[in-house]
Structure 1
Amino acid sequence: MKPSTDTTSRRRWLMISFAFLATLINYLDRQTLSVAAPVLREQFHMSAVTYSRVVFCFLFAYTIMNGVSGPLIDRLGTRLGYALCIAWWSAAAILHAFSRGALSLGIFRFLLGAGEAGNWPAAIRIVAEWFPKNERAMASGIFNSGSAAGSIIAPPLVAFILLRYGWEYAFVVVGVLGFVWLAFWWPTYQSPPEVVGEVQVPVPGAWKLFKTRFVWSFTFAKIFLDPVWYFYTFWFPEYLKTARHFDMAQIGKFAWIPFLVAGSGNIVGGWFSGWLIRRGLEVTVARKTSITLFAILMMAAIPAVLAPSAAMSIAWVSVAMTGYTGALASMLTLPADVFPKNAVASVYGLASMGSGFGGMLFTLITGWAVEHYSYTPVFIGFGLIPLLCATILWTLTKSPEQAI
C-alpha cells in the first residue's frame, strides 16, 4: 500500500501513535503487579511457586484469547475491536485493587490477560492497513516501543503511588488511563480509503491457517522468543529484590533502566530490517537476518546473572532486552509481509496463542528453578533459547502464494 495523499501520509503517523499509547498503557497495567510483587507476596504470603501460578493465570488467559482476539478483530474491524479490548483490560486492571489473596489476584490477572491479548493483533492490523512493506518494521518498532515506555514508567510511578497511598491505588490509577485513551480513539480512528474500498481476499479458517507452513513455523519460533520478555517483565523486579537485595525504593529507582535501553531496539531493529530491504534483500530474508543478529545479542543474559555487581547485571540485562525488542520489530511484521491485510490479526493471534503455551511452561519452570536452585540456570536458559527461534525462522515460506 502506498499513501495516496500527503494527508493520508501524515494521518498514518497519528494512527500508529494510538497503537504506541495503547501498548504503553498495556504494559503499565501489566507491570503494576511486577513492581508491587514484593509487597503483595509478603501481604498475601505467596511463595515463588505461588507467585508463578498467579503469573500463569495471566499467561493462560492471554494465550487462549490470542487465538480468539485476532480473528475477532479481523471480523469487527480495527476501530471497534481495539476499543473493546482496551475497555476490557482497563476494567480488569482496576479490579486488582479488590484482591484479598492469591486466589482473587489470580482471577483478576486472568481477566487482565484475556483483554490484553488483543493489543498486538489490533496494532499489527493498523500497520498492515496504513504502511507499505519497507516501512512496516519501523512502524511496528514505534508502536512496540510503547511496551518499553510502559515498563520504564511503571517502576517509579507504581513505587511512588504504592509507598504514598497503598498498592490498591496503583492499580486504579493505571487502569483509568485506558478509558482516557478510549475517549480519544473512538472519534478519531478510521481505516485508510484504500482499505475501505478494496476487495477482501477470502481467508482460510483458523485451523487451515494454522496448518500452513508459515503459521506453524512462526508459532514455534515465537515459543522460543516471547518467554524471554515475559521473564524480564514478570520476574526482573523480584530478581533485584531476591538476588541483588534491592528494597522497594531501589526497585523503583533502577528497575526501569533496562526497559529504557530496550526501547532503542524497537527503532534500530525496525530501521535495520528496512535498510536491508532497501539494499535489495528479499523481504522475509531481511526480516530473518535481522532477527538472527538480535537473537545473538540476547545471549547477554548469561553474563548478566554472573556479573559481580548489580550495576553490571542491570547493564547486561539492558543489552539482552534490546536484543529482544530489536528482533520483535521484524517478527511483528512477518504476518503482514506474507498474508493479506484482513488475515494479519488472525495469523498473529494464532501464533501468539501457541507461543503463550510456551510462556506458561517457562513461567512455571522459572518459579520451580528459583525456588529450588537460583536465578542462574534461568538466565542461562533465556540467553540461549532465542537461538532456537532464529533457527526455526529460516524454515518459513517466502511468498503469500506459498503461505496460503
Structure 2
Amino acid sequence: MVALLFMATAIKYIDRNVLSFTMIDEGFRREMLNVPESSPLTADLIGRFKVLMGYVDASFKFAYAIGFVLMGYFIDRVLVKKGYSIAIAIWSFAGIATAFVSSFRGLSITRFVFGFGESANFPAAIKTIAEWFPKKERSFATGIYNAGANVGIMATALIVPALIIHLGWRWSFLCTGVLGVMLLVCWRLIYRPLASHPQVSAEEQQYIESDHAPASNNTKVPWKNLLKTRGAWAIALGKFFTDPIWWFYLTWLPDFFNSNEALETKLDLTGLALPFIVIYFTSDLGSVFFGWLSGKFISMGWTVNKSRKVTLLLCALLVVPLIFAAKVANVHLAMVLVAIAAAAHQGWSANLFTLSSDIFPKRVVGSVVGLAGMVGGIGGTIFAAFAGIILVNWGYFPIFMMASASYLIALLIIHLLVPRIG
C-alpha cells in the first residue's frame, strides 16, 4: 500500500510541476502573451507574465482548497478506491487538456479543474495509512509515501526540460497526463481495503489494529461538527501558514534560479536538473527521517504529544536559514539553503498529517485532512495571488522572509489549540 501511494504521489507531482518548468520557456511565454516571434520579450512583458502566472497559480490553489474539503468528505462517504479513482481521472484529463490552451484564460480553466481533482491525493492517502498501519508506524509510512512528491519533482526536472526543448511545451503536458491515466489503471487493479485483502492474515490485521484509540476517542464526530473542534483547527491553521511556502517552491523555484538578481549564475532549462535533484532528494530524506524520528521518540517511551511537537519544532527551526537564500550570490549555496528548508517542510508535513489520525478516529480522518487542506489551500491562494506582484516589485527576499517565520508561528498556534495530544 505504501508503494502504491508513493507511486500515486510521485505521478501527481509530475503532473503538477510541468507548468513550473514550462513557464520559463520562451515559446510558452510568447503563446500566453500572444507575442509573435518577431517582437522582443521586454522586461515589462516578462513582468506582466509573472503577475498573470501568479493569478493562474491562485486559480489552481483556489480549486485545490475547494476540492480538498469536498474530496475529503466524498472519500469518507464512497470510500477510498472509488473516490480516488474519480479524482485521478479528473486531474489526468485536465493535464492533457492543458496541452491545447493558447491563453491565460484557458490555462486558468484547465489548472482550476486540475487542482480540484488533485486535491483528493492526501485525504485518500492519509485515510489509507490510518486503515493499514498502527499509530506508532503511521508517521514513518506517511513520510515514505510523502517522499513520492520529491521523486516526482526530480523526475519532472529530468524529463520535462528535454520534452520542451526537443518536442515543444505542449508535449510535456500530453506525456505527463498519460502517466496519470496509467496510475488510474494501477490503482483500480491493486488497491484493496484491509478487511478484504486476500494476502492479509488474521495476525497481521490484529497487529495493525493493536493500538486503536480508546473508546472515548472513537466517538463518531459528524463532519459539520469538525469546525467546532480545536484539533481540526490546529491542523488546518498549521497548513494555512506552511502549505503556501511549499507550493511557492513548486511553482516558482525554476524562475528563482533563472532570474533572481542576487545570483551570479542564472540557470536555464538545461541547467535546472542538478539543483532540483539535490533539493528534492534532500527533501525526500527529510520526509522519511522526520517521519521515522517521531515514531522513534514514541518507541523510546515519549508521549505522542511530545514526540510530534518536538519533531515539528526541529523542522520549523531548520526553515529559518532560508531567509538568506534570496541574498546569496553563489547558486550552490542558495541551492543548499532551499534544500534544507524543503527537507524540513516535508518532515513537518508528514508529522502534521499524522496528527489527524492521532487526534481523530479513522472514520473522519479523510474529512479532517480535507478541511485542513481547504484552509491550507486558502492560504496558498492568497499567497499565490500576490506572489507575482511581490516578485516583480521587490524580488524574492520578502517571500523567503515570510517563509522562515511561518513554521514557528504555526507550531505555536498548534500548541495553544491542542496543548496535549493523545
For normalisation by structure 2, the TM-score amounts to: 0.88
Could you tell me how far 1:266 is from its partner in structure 2? 0.8
Could you say which structure has the larger radius of gyration? 2
- Aligned twin of 2:11: 25
SS of 2:147's partner is helix
- Aligned twin of 2:29: 41
Pick one of 231, 241, 246 that aligns with 2:248: 231
Equivalent residues in 2 for 1:3-402, closer than 5 Å: 15-39=1-25, 40-45=28-33, 47-193=49-195, 203-243=220-260, 244=263, 245-397=266-418, 398=420
Could you tell me how far 1:61 is from its partner in structure 2? 0.2
In structure 1, C-alpha distance between the alignment counterparts of 2:395 and 2:191, rounded to whole Å: 48
Q: Deviations over 1:342-387 (max 9, x none)?
A: 1101001001101111111111232121111111111111111111
Could you tell me how far 1:251 is from its partner in structure 2? 2.4
Give the letter for the 2:323 counterpart: I
Could you tell me how far 1:141 is from its partner in structure 2? 0.3
Q: Deviations over 1:16-44 (max 9, x none)?
A: 11111110011001100001011223431
Give the letter for the 1:266 counterpart: S
In structure 1, C-alpha distance between the alignment counterparts of 2:137 and 2:221, rounded to whole Å: 27
Could you tell me how far 1:289 is from its partner in structure 2? 1.3
Q: Deviations over 1:234-283 (max 9, x none)?
A: 11001111114322211244333211211101110111100111111111
Could you tell me how far 1:399 is from its partner in structure 2? 5.0
In structure 1, C-alpha distance between the alignment counterparts of 2:239 and 2:177, rounded to whole Å: 28
In structure 2, C-alpha distance between the alignment counterparts of 1:300 and 1:236, rounded to whole Å: 17
**Structure 1: where are the runs of 5+ without partners?**
1-14
- Aligned twin of 2:42: none
Could you tell me how far 1:336 is from its partner in structure 2? 0.8
In structure 2, C-alpha distance between the alignment counterparts of 1:290 and 1:334, rounded to whole Å: 12
For normalisation by structure 1, the TM-score amounts to: 0.91
> Aligned Cα RMSD in Å?
1.9
Could you tell me how far 1:202 is from its partner in structure 2? 6.3
Q: Provide closer, same or farther for how the CA distance between residues 190 and 202 of structure 1 changes in structure 2, counting only shifts above 3 A.
A: farther
Give the letter for the 2:52 counterpart: T
CA contact (8 A) 1:297 1:320 kept: yes
Q: Deviations over 1:280-309 (max 9, x none)?
A: 111133112101110110112112112121
The number of residues matched between the two structures is: 385
**Structure 2: where are the runs of 5+ without partners?**
34-47, 196-204
In structure 2, C-alpha distance between the alignment counterparts of 1:76 and 1:375, rounded to whole Å: 43
